[in-house]
Amino acid sequence: MSETAALNMQDIPQRQLPEHLELQRTRVFCKADAPVHTEDVEYSGAYAAIGFDNSLQVDDFRRDFRVEVKNLSMDVIEFDMIGIDASLANAFRRILIAEVPTMAIEKVLIVNNTSVMADEILSHRLGLLPIEADPRLFDFLSENDTPNERNTIVFKMEVHCKKSGPRLTVKSDQLKWLPNGSELLMESPNPSTKPRRFTSFSRSQASSGRPIGMKHRDIIITQLGPGQSIELEAHAVKGTGKVHAKWSPVGTTWYRMLPEVKLLKEVKGNDAEKLVKKCPVKVFDLEDVGHAMKKAVVSKPRDCTLCRECIGDGGEENIALRRVRDHFIFTVESTGALPPEVLFTEAVKILEEKCERVISELS
Amino acid sequence: MGYREKHSVETHNNHAKPIKSAVDKFALLPEFLKVRGLVKQHIDSFNYFINNDIKKIMKTNDRIVCPQDPSLYLRYTKISIGKPLEYVEHATEELNPQLCRLSDRTYASPIKVDIEYTRPNQTNKEYKKDLVIGRMPIMLRSSKCVLSGKDEAELAKLGECPLDPGGYFIIKGNEKVILIQEQLSKNRIIIDTDSKGRVNASVTSSTHETKTKTVFFMDKDKIYLQLNQFSKPISIMIIMKAMGMENDQEVVQMLGRDPKYGFLLFPSMQECRSEKIITQKQALEYLQGKLANLSSLRFEINKDDRVKKILINVFLAHVPQAKDGNFRPKCIYTAVMLRRMMDAVLNVETFDDKDYVGNKRLELSGQLVALLFEDLFKTMNSQVASRMEKAYDKASRSTPLDFIHYMRSDTITNGLERAISTGNWDLKRFKMNRKGVSQVLSRLAFIATLGYMTRVSPQFEKTRKVSGPRALQPSQWGMLCPCDTPEGEGCGLTKNLALMTHVTTDEEEGPLIKWCRKLGVVDVEDLSGEELHAPDSFLVMLNGLILGKHTKPQKFANAMRKLRRKSVIGEFVSIFVHERQRCVYVASDGGRVCRPLVIADKGVSRIKEYHMKELRDGVRSFDDFVREGLIEYLDVNEENNALIALYEHEIHKDGHDEDNADGQKSFITHIEIEPFTILGVVAGLIPYPHHNQSPRNTYQCAMGKQAMGNIAYNQLSRADTLLYLLVYPQRPLLTTRTIELVGYDKLGAGQNATVAVMSYSGYDIEDAIVMNKSSLDRGFGRCIALKKQIVVKETYSNETSDRIVRPQNEPRKQALDADGIAAPGQIVRRHDILVNKQSPRNKRDRITNPMALKDCDYAPSNVSYKGPEGETTVVDRVMLYSDKDNKMCVKFIIRHVRRPEIGDKFSSRHGQKGVIGTIVQQEDFPFSERGICPDLIMNPHGFPSRMTIGKMIELLGSKAAVLSGRFHYGSAFGEPSGHADKVEDISRTLVEHGFNYSGKDLLYSGISGKPLQAYIFMGPIYYQKLKHMVLDKMHARASGPRMTLTRQPTEGRARDGGLRLGEMERDCLIAYGASMLIYERLMLSSDPYQVQVCSQCGLLGYYNHKLKTSWCSMCKSGDNMSSLKLPYACKLLFQELQSMNVVPRLKLTEY
């Protein structure tokens, strides 16, 4: 982009920013040495002198905001969120990681563990296993609550490796769901009273909805040598990723701004071929312009990974790498408790709830 | 390697070369380590002791004679060392190392001897075979160890880790290493200056019989001999005369014809003349007068003999007498010494350098144990003799005199055990008193263990402020690691062996002498004094002795080397032609450091590709290479006669004009096997160390030993006092060849953390790092601390013993099983009871039936867990065994799993340590366009001043490794040989995978969601968690325990001590004028005490609580008493003074 001196600027039409300012407002410039204009201009009156209104209007937002799902599979969704501020997109990301609740094993009651793995580490590994259970059907278990069918899922694991057999790999499918709650009896100081169980389920969880289990059945938990055995009960409760990463519903979730690759000059012939070859993700393509001449065109800007190969060594004169400031390519990788698209709506709900809380606090 | 071939082909396309490409010799290295092992020096040396040396020791002390009756004697005919076993109640139990470690026993074998002896009044000799005279601790993996020659499966069966190097001893369950000791060469002439600046030639003679030191020095142009046995320095000419060289001309001739030597000797001759000493007899008489009075009274009888004895046994003790008993060899040796000394006077450059590695010998465990054994063996023999003497004198003998009855095996057993377990080598017989010879093998990290085995402890005490011995010696190249040395007082003194170093053991001299003679060495005895230094010949020295002379030294040396390469003489014999001293040094003594090198003929390696192919196919071993003369060992001295190229292609590289290249090429005699072998094991872990500032590598060498990780394959069945293990250890993505060779890739001590180099939050200044909480949640840096606690079920002198009983339902006993011992898997906290033990109330008086004690006769003596407050720990294992006194013991291993917290110390492999400054939620962490979120953030200010470029390359390399799925390499100096990936190639890989070539990514802020204003250098770096954790260090106290004597708060964290307001802090408060604060800190919060003082006499009185009055017991009145507060320590001082008859009086005034 050529920069013009202020005095030489042409008369500009009102209510519109000059080209370079408009670019600065809407794009992040990924220069070879550092990105510039990464921060957007938030103040509504920033361009008031030119007569440009920088404020955000709800109607405009409603009109311009779009979501385009690009890719959806069992666990991963990739969609474009267009016409939104980075702070909002980031809020969704943050809520997805830390505040959307899931179920995860929190308490492990070990009856017997003769494996080489220490109890604490075994429990830690169990805690990280994703559980296929809709967290919306459960309540949070607070400190004074008794564990019941509304807030606790109980699993049981009993594995034994035969004395004369080979080593046994314990996988997550060894965890068996106990819809009727804990089977272990609490040790009571007074032997005369009837011993209590660790949970008090009033009805079976099996009656309501889908059966609960591990999301993946092939996660290796530990290995047992001949003669070793593990017997335990694992209690899963609802929680959020803020407390521990095991409750995070996503492996990770992130966004990137839409890449924009612009050829500032025409790149022809040998240079074009070089350019095409340079890019490891094939952003550029060749186009015939006749006379056996070829010119480079930008074919897949979305694939740009910002390796900056094309703008090194003076390439910056020919090519500009930019990011569109209000266009987010959002990816959610679910761990499996909920489908990724549901997770996102959950995140939206949480944000909504928070806003309502703020409004009610203020009024 | 592919690269290398290309390279040499490119540069020498039109060169007529014997081979197409340089041969990749790296494969030799694993083969070398397979054959030699990492601690082969220790094992070799111990094997030599056990198989050869012990026999020699026995042979020199093989006879015990009864002092009264010489016909009564005992003779040892054979000595051998059996399998490791122990005698328990008349039965033998075979030992293995793991058993010894767990049950606190000594891993030792019986020393068996065959003897013949006589008994009084019996003519025929008695014979006895396999008599046990003691137990010898056995070095692990030595030839007598049960582990030697075992494969991995067999080792596993014995509970042993295949990666454990061995080379240490197990004494009472503790693993002890005998460190390599550095020493100045024995039996060699060292020319030096002493503290007064005088030129000084000294020889430390060491033979099996004696160890002495002979010093010549030059004072005011005259040369003197200094010997402990003479009270004053003796003029050298007098000594010569005493040895029979009465003619001055003969002496001068022996020194050489050059008049400069004669001139230098002239003042000494004059002095001798002025003392009027001309004949041998006069000289001997003169010497008699100079004898020191060291315990001389005993030998008063024959003074004349004494001087001769000193000349024979003390003066240059290692030079043997001539066959006819004259002193000629000693005279010649003296002359050579004088000549060298005079050379030094005339030419300063000929001084010897004491720090030169070739002038040093390394004493290994075999030699040290040999010394110990020799001393104890002699002690035992003299004990037997003295017992025999006593028994002989006893008139009434019920049993006939029998040597067997007086042989006790505990002298040797206990002596060896005590010395190795305390590390004190206190041998009066050899005037040896060394401390810290053996040390506990550190099992903190696998690398720490290896580091211990290669450590060389210094000859000087560490406190000396000298720079010379601390400096890096050029002769250390390839022998001692240039990086691995501690910081602080031991810096440069404590060293470590390099990867391929070998330390020699003694070798027979006989065949060597024979070969020397055959090759034309003229015997000294056949030479006149004049011929000795004839200008056309070189002296030939063998292990410090003058063997003779040779007219064609180079030819002789070449012939000897040829013999060595043909394995006619030992592979570790060194032949060194010293041009300046006009000497050929042949050495076969033990303790020299040497290393293998590829032999090259005129710059062309003898190893060809087909050799290497045979090696890869397993048809050829490393020893074959040595046997066939492709590889040879050079010691530091012989290296001076060699021109060693780094690479074969290197030879051609510099020579742009062909002639010069060929000229240079033709001088090259050897080629290095691999340049990274100049580093040791510990420094070998560092990737790209040649890109780092040198001190950083040294720091990493110290820190690598503190890193947590896996210790050994048998780590979970070990019982160490303290063990730190990482829960999820990884092998580094960026490895080195050394890492693979030593097995660090199997027993790693760290994790590959994704690091973003950026500043974040301000909690990352001064090397602090910011951690991602989710990474910690998922197990990053998680570790297990295992601690040991032992409970002994005591037995008492009255045959009663403790008992362990079933617990009742009592508090603090919830961890106990029905057997009264805490069960594995139980959670224990501080003060929880581990063993429900009871002791008998009566432990001394005899009790008729100890088994029939009633319950009321026992008092509880429970043993509780002594952990820190607030920690939730778990009983990991409980082991029951009986110790050497047959008492039952319970060993508890208590486990604590820790996740990293603020203040825990981490470090990369480049001497860049830092503590966790803050732990941040993942959503606040920056993330890349691919969703990658770093595990930790490191401040970029760590780079400019440290200059650890290696760390940056590690980051790039690891990133490329992750992307391409191939482990990358960063061996030292490895780029030319393909053992280190080049930055160019790494960058290419990064670009291929769509990353920036410099490793810098666009990151979005996790807080604002906007892109960061800089590209961030991000990628994986191998991070080590160090053993320093806040949990073990944090300490605070409000009020707590006080010392009984002074009533002041205790000191130190272990005793829950107070935090001292020291004198400097006090100075600050005084300067500030905060008097009330001083009063509070120094008095109220410390040891306030109310005293009654009599204002009359000024002494302390007391308060009578019955009468409710104060009383002065001096004045016998209570009238003038006043009450005041002072520190208890002050009151204590007054009373202590009073007890010494000093009366402190307090003068009180109204205020």
- What residues does each domain of chain B span? 41-182+362-453, 189-317, 507-588, 683-716+728-781+902-1025, 783-843+854-898, 1087-1139
| Partners of residue A335 in chain B, C-beta under 8 Å | none
Q: Domain B683-716+728-781+902-1025 carries which CATH code?
A: 2.40.270.10
| Partners of residue B876 in chain A, C-beta under 8 Å | 118
**Cβ–Cβ below 8 Å for A118 and B895:** yes
Is residue B13 predicted with pLDDT exceeding 50?
Answer: no
In chain A, what is the straight-line distance between the N-terminal and C-terminal CA atoms, in Å?
Answer: 49
Q: Which of A303, A33, A307 is nearest to B988 (CA)?
A: A307
| Partners of residue A330 in chain B, C-beta under 8 Å | none
What is the SS3 assignment for chain A? CCCCCCCCCCCCCCCCCCHHHHHHHHEEEECCCCEECCCCCCCCCCCHHHCCCCCCCHHHHHHHCEEEEEEECCCEEEEEEECCCHHHHHHHHHHHHHCCCEEEEEEEEEEEECCCCCHHHHHHHHHCCCEECCHHHCCCCCCCCCCCCCCEEEEEEEEECCCCCCCEEEEHHHCEEECCCCCCECCCCCCCCCCCECCCCCCCHHHCCCCCEECCCCCEEEEECCCCEEEEEEEEEEECCCCCHHHCCEEEEEEEEEEEEEECCCCEHHHHHHHHHHCCCCCEEEEEEECCEEEEEECCHHHCCCCCCCCCCCHHHCEEEEEEEEEEEEEEEECCCCCHHHHHHHHHHHHHHHHHHHHHHHC
**Cβ–Cβ below 8 Å for B1009 and A86:** yes
Q: How confident is the model at residue B650 (pLDDT cuts 50, 70, 90)?
A: low
**Cβ–Cβ below 8 Å for A333 and B991:** no
**Cβ–Cβ below 8 Å for A252 and B933:** yes
Percent of chain B whose pLDDT exceeds 70: 94
Question: Residue B698, Cα to own-chain centre: how many angstroms?
Answer: 17
Strand order in the sheet with B199-206: B189-193, B199-206, B211-219, B222-226, B234-235
Query: Is A25 within 8 Å of chain B by CB?
Result: no
pLDDT at A12: 57
Q: Phi/psi at B300 (nearest 5 deg)?
A: -55, -30
Residue whose entry in the numeric block shows the structure tokens 């300063």: B348
| Partners of residue B921 in chain A, C-beta under 8 Å | 98, 242
Is residue B1136 predicted with pLDDT exceeding 70?
Answer: yes
Distance from CA of A265 to the nearest CA of B (A): 23
Greatest distance between any 2 Cα atoms in chain B? 118
pLDDT at B23: 61
For the segment(s) B507-588, the CATH number from 3.40.50.300, 3.90.1070.20, 3.40.50.10470, 1.10.940.10 is 3.90.1070.20
**Cβ–Cβ below 8 Å for B1013 and A36:** yes
Strand partners, B595: B634
What mean pLDDT comes out for the span B736-751?
90
Is residue B1 predicted with pLDDT exceeding 50?
Answer: no
Q: How confident is the model at residue B19 (pLDDT cuts 50, 70, 90)?
A: very low
| Given the residues B767, B876, B883, B924, the one annotated as active site | B767
pLDDT at B659: 52
Sign of CA dihedral B225, B227, B232, B234: negative
Residues of chain A with pLDDT under 50: none
| Partners of residue A81 in chain B, C-beta under 8 Å | none
B245, amino acid identity: M
| Partners of residue A32 in chain B, C-beta under 8 Å | none
Query: CATH class for domain A102-247?
Result: mainly beta
Distance from CA of A331 to the nearest CA of B (A): 8
Strand partners, A322: A29, A260
Sign of CA dihedral B329, B335, B341, B346: negative
pLDDT at B294: 56
| Partners of residue A306 in chain B, C-beta under 8 Å | 929, 996, 1001-1002
Distance CA B1146, CA B1129 (A): 15
What mean pLDDT comes out for the span B1013-1031?
94
Distance from CA of A148 to the nearest CA of B (A): 26
Which tokens in the block code for residue B1103? 């308060």
Query: Is B874 within 8 Å of chain A by CB?
Result: yes
Query: Is B919 within 8 Å of chain A by CB?
Result: no
Query: Do the beta carbons of residue B513 and residue B542 sit within 8 Å?
Result: yes
For the segment(s) B189-317, the CATH number from 3.90.1110.10, 3.90.226.10, 3.20.20.70, 3.30.420.80 is 3.90.1110.10
pLDDT at B1065: 94
Fold for the domain defined by B1087-1139: DCoH-like (3.90.1800)
Query: Do the beta carbons of residue B796 and residue B850 sit within 8 Å?
Result: no
- What residues does each domain of chain A span? 16-100+249-363, 102-247
Q: Which of A34, A89, A307 is opposite residue B1009, by nearest beta carbon?
A: A89
pLDDT at A14: 62
Distance CA B994, CA A220 (A): 32
Query: CATH class for domain B783-843+854-898?
Result: mainly beta
Q: Which of A35, A98, A281 is opposite residue B994, by nearest beta carbon?
A: A281
pLDDT at B338: 86
Instruction: Count residue pairs from A and B with Cβ separation < 8 A.
Output: 121
The residues near A241 (Cβ < 8 Å, ≥ 6 apart) are A97, A98, A99, A100, A247, A248, A249, B774, B922, B923
| Partners of residue B726 in chain A, C-beta under 8 Å | none
Residue from B814, B929, B1001 whose CB has the most chain A CBs within 10 Å, to mutate? B929
Query: Is A331 within 8 Å of chain B by CB?
Result: yes
Residue from B727, B782, B920, B923 whose CB has the most chain A CBs within 10 Å, to mutate? B923
The residues near B582 (Cβ < 8 Å, ≥ 6 apart) are B533, B537, B538, B539, B553
Question: Which tens digit of pLDDT belongs to each residue from B227-261?
Answer: 877 888 888 888 888 887 778 888 888 887 788 88
Stretch 169-188 of chain A: residues touching chain B, C-beta under 8 Å: none
Percent of chain B whose pLDDT exceeds 90: 37
pLDDT at B6: 41
For the segment(s) B41-182+362-453, the CATH number from 3.90.1100.10, 1.10.1060.10, 3.40.950.10, 1.10.730.10 is 3.90.1100.10
Query: Do the beta carbons of residue B768 and residue B1010 sit within 8 Å?
Result: no
Which tokens in the block code for residue A237? 């409760």
**Cβ–Cβ below 8 Å for A246 and B777:** yes
Question: Which tens digit of pLDDT belongs to each residue from B437-450?
Answer: 899 998 989 999 99
Question: Which tens digit of pLDDT belongs to each residue from B930-949?
Answer: 999 999 999 999 999 999 99
Is residue B20 predicted with pLDDT exceeding 60?
Answer: no
More confident residue, B496 or A145: B496
**Packed helices B303-313 and B280-289: angle between N→C axes, nearest 10 degrees:** 100
pLDDT at B395: 58
Among chain A residues, the shortest Cα distance to B786 is held by: A118
Q: How confident is the model at residue B16 (pLDDT cuts 50, 70, 90)?
A: very low
Q: How confident is the model at residue B131 (pLDDT cuts 50, 70, 90)?
A: confident
Which tokens in the block code for residue B501? 């170093």
Q: Domain A16-100+249-363 carries which CATH code?
A: 3.30.1360.10
Q: Which of A227, A218, A243, A222 is nearest to A119 (CA)?
A: A222
Q: How confident is the model at residue B5 (pLDDT cuts 50, 70, 90)?
A: very low
Distance CA B533, CA A356 (A): 107
Most confident of the ranges A348-352, B162-166, B193-197? A348-352
Of A185-194, B70-79, B685-694, B939-948, the range with the lowest mean pLDDT is A185-194
Which tokens in the block code for residue B920? 């941040």
Residue whose entry in the numeric block shows the structure tokens 């930008």: A298
Distance from CA of A288 to the nearest CA of B (A): 26
Query: Do the beta carbons of residue B435 and residue B423 sit within 8 Å?
Result: yes
pLDDT at B11: 39
Stretch 110-169 of chain A: residues touching chain B, C-beta under 8 Å: 110, 113, 116, 118-121, 124, 128
Question: Which tens digit of pLDDT belongs to each residue from B868-903?
Answer: 777 889 999 999 988 877 889 999 999 999 999 999
Look up B258 and say whether it is catalytic: no
pLDDT at A9: 63
| Partners of residue B1007 in chain A, C-beta under 8 Å | 90
Query: Do the beta carbons of residue A90 and residue A325 sit within 8 Å?
Result: no
**Cβ–Cβ below 8 Å for A35 and B1013:** yes
What is the enclosing helix (H) or strand (E) of B52? none
Alpha-carbon Rg for chain A in angstroms: 29
Query: Is B1011 within 8 Å of chain A by CB?
Result: yes
Which tokens in the block code for residue B685? 């872990």
Q: Which of B449, B436, B431, B445 is nearest to B490 (CA)?
A: B436
Report the predicted TM-score, pTM, of the whole model to 2 decimal places.
0.89
Which tokens in the block code for residue B853? 């004690």
Distance from CA of A292 to the nearest CA of B (A): 29
Question: Which tens digit of pLDDT belongs to each residue from B1067-1124?
Answer: 999 999 999 999 999 999 999 999 999 988 999 999 988 888 899 988 888 888 999 9
Is residue B18 predicted with pLDDT exceeding 50?
Answer: no
Of B32-36, B481-485, B626-630, B1054-1058, the range with the lowest mean pLDDT is B32-36
Label the pairing between strands B583-587 and B538-542.
Answer: parallel
Q: Phi/psi at B1117 (nearest 5 deg)?
A: -145, 165
Label the pairing between strands A76-82 and B199-206.
Answer: unpaired
Question: Which tens digit of pLDDT belongs to each residue from B555-582?
Answer: 888 999 999 998 888 889 999 998 888 8
More confident residue, A320 or B462: A320
Query: Do the beta carbons of residue B212 and residue B309 sit within 8 Å?
Result: no
Q: Which 3 state secondary structure label does DSSP give B1114?
A: coil
pLDDT at B213: 84
| Partners of residue A34 in chain B, C-beta under 8 Å | 1013-1015
Q: Which of B613, B549, B540, B542 is nearest to B578 (CA)?
A: B540
Question: Which tens digit of pLDDT belongs to each residue from B966-1007?
Answer: 999 999 998 888 889 999 999 999 999 999 999 999 999 999
**Cβ–Cβ below 8 Å for B1009 and A87:** yes
What mean pLDDT comes out for the span B391-419?
78
Q: Which 3 state secondary structure label does DSSP give B934?
A: coil
**Cβ–Cβ below 8 Å for A306 and B1001:** yes
Is residue B208 predicted with pLDDT exceeding 80?
Answer: no
Q: Which of A38, A91, A124 is opposite residue B1011, by nearest beta carbon?
A: A38
Question: Across chain B, what does the average pLDDT equal?
Answer: 86
Label the pairing between strands B888-898 and A284-290.
Answer: unpaired
Q: Which of A29, A2, A71 is nearest to A306 (CA)?
A: A29
